[in-house]
Structure 1
């Protein structure tokens, strides 16, 4: 069971205990509510209660901005490293409609994954690129807020990548995996710090809900504009 599922189960047990102590007048409605929660857990896998919690979080402008900045990190690093994307979904209701838990996010093109499966594993070059992609959200959070709160699923996806390295080059310990994850985090931070204007463009377009192709075109234009800027004059040195 997931951590969220364990938490919900604990609340259900606690509610049943409390209802037994309250007596029949209050126990009946409380038991009915617990019954509805149990049905929702069984029939919908906790998706409805998860949606409610996500909607409450999303109502906070500060929290919503944090999620957008997290996903902007993924978007920019994917663009910089040539990682194909299918699109993005932002917001609990949109994510729920697409069958995605939580608040949604940037969606990867699955074609490279199918190629890796056919080849028996991904290359180290692909591991580097996708490792930086998966840690880019955490990198953006750490740079913007000094701490990371939304990288659990990203780390799980990266762990799957690390586990998919061909058997001829295995990672033999959890310590090695942590070392790779931390290295990818630092490298993603460096990429974002090297492209502040493009990152700001990614944030702005996600805030506006721009189509993915418009986001990518704006990123390309921002990066090209920076490349065409003349280098800053070097300080003069006296002989």
Structure 2
């Protein structure tokens, strides 16, 4: 009987399992799974620590103004042999570059007329209110201090002189500082929109392989950091390679594609969130000027912009979670390295 039972088991026709053996098997299986999970968790923890240390080093290089060293560090972390580097830098999946029609963009839910000619309604309203307040103040001052028409004229001319100096010397920096500060203070929508706009620039640059160098959300913050009214709030990049190509008069297609998408990333982000864009007119003007300086015809420029619009919006849609978390980090004033860590932590490598 023993021999027959053993033979039957070997032939696969009859099985007799001891409950004790099954319990031991299940226990061993659970132990293997638990050990695998522990090993995976430990590996992820080690990777996070390694990345955190390297990104802290990156922040230090950027703080010192060592752009080349910072970019070299990030590139060394691409495809790191231990698998603990930066997986998302320059790894975005992009659409093929060709001539796209407006109908093709509309099929992808994109209406370019809603964001390629942005008008800042928030700041426009604030400026009109300030103009009205100034007019009322002038009338009130005339009666309160019994000012003559000539005195009122001199005051008006003095203010116009200050405004002119601002436009010529600071490119409207004083005006922008005043409006932007009031906007961030009184309008939650304006404050939120600016943050989302800059998060769009930041994440698109990073995913396309351009390293963000610094960012500011308000004009007051920019004035404090840069000490200049001529510098507007926004995101700056490690762009010495791009500038070298510009100065040589020959810009590669790859470099132009990167910066076309980065320039449109802010308005594209606003469009995805609100259905239209208010900020970013300066970005579009700069891109248009760049294409003209490179000798692009209107047809060729339109083709470049349409491809960049489609490519940028599809990337932003695919990585919405990472962009939203990045906006929170930027709102909290996190360092560039910390913001990069947020992106890396919220994008699965398989989704790139």
Instruction: Classify the secondary structure of the residue corresponding to 2:215.
Output: strand
TM-score after normalising by structure 2: 0.53
Asked whether the 8 Å contact 1:138–1:185 carries over to 2, the reply is no
| Residue 178 of structure 2: aligned partner | 52
Alpha-carbon shift at residue 182 of structure 1 (Å): 3.2
Alpha-carbon shift at residue 40 of structure 1 (Å): 1.7
| Residue 83 of structure 1: aligned partner | 210
| Residue 64 of structure 1: aligned partner | 191
Alpha-carbon shift at residue 142 of structure 1 (Å): 0.3
| Residue 14 of structure 2: aligned partner | none
Alpha-carbon shift at residue 84 of structure 1 (Å): 2.1
Q: Deviations over 1:39-72 (max 9, x none)?
A: 3224333422321111121121111000110111
Q: When the two structures are aligned, how many residues end up with a matched partner? A: 207
CA RMSD between the two structures: 2.9
Q: Deviations over 1:113-171 (max 9, x none)?
A: 33213432211111111111111111100000000111211112212332343xxxx42
Provide structure 2 residue ranges, at least 5 long, that are not aligned to the other structure. Answer: 1-126
Aligned counterpart for 2:313 among listed residues 186, 189, 194: 189
Distance in 1 of aligned mates of 2:301 and 2:148 = 51
Instruction: Classify the secondary structure of the residue corresponding to 2:236.
Output: strand
Instruction: Classify the secondary structure of the residue corresponding to 2:183.
Output: helix
TM alignment of 1:136-175, pairs within 5 A? 136-165=265-294, 170-173=295-298, 175=299
Asked whether the 8 Å contact 1:205–1:215 carries over to 2, the reply is yes
Asked whether the 8 Å contact 2:242–2:255 carries over to 1, the reply is no
Asked whether the 8 Å contact 1:74–1:134 carries over to 2, the reply is yes
Alpha-carbon shift at residue 100 of structure 1 (Å): 5.5
Alpha-carbon shift at residue 214 of structure 1 (Å): 0.9
Instruction: Classify the secondary structure of the residue corresponding to 2:279.
Output: coil
Distance in 2 of aligned mates of 1:42 and 1:36 = 10
TM alignment of 1:1-239, pairs within 5 A? 25=147, 27-28=149-150, 30-45=152-167, 46-59=172-185, 60-97=187-224, 98=226, 99=228, 104-165=233-294, 170-173=295-298, 175-223=299-347, 226-227=348-349
Asked whether the 8 Å contact 1:51–1:102 carries over to 2, the reply is no
Asked whether the 8 Å contact 1:77–1:188 carries over to 2, the reply is yes
Asked whether the 8 Å contact 1:91–1:104 carries over to 2, the reply is yes
Deviates more, 1:132-141 or 1:49-58: 49-58
Instruction: Classify the secondary structure of the residue corresponding to 2:234.
Output: strand
Deviates more, 1:114-123 or 1:80-89: 114-123
| Residue 46 of structure 2: aligned partner | none
| Residue 107 of structure 2: aligned partner | none
TM-score after normalising by structure 1: 0.75
Q: Deviations over 1:175-205 (max 9, x none)?
A: 4423422331222111000111211121111
- Misfit runs of 4+, over 3 Å: 22-26, 100-103
Distance in 2 of aligned mates of 1:57 and 1:102 = 18
Q: Which has the higher contact order (CA 8 A, sep 6+)?
A: 2
Provide structure 1 residue ranges, at least 5 long, that are not aligned to the other structure. Answer: 1-6, 230-239
Q: Deviations over 1:71-100 (max 9, x none)?
A: 111011011011122211111211234336
Deviates more, 1:153-162 or 1:176-185: 176-185
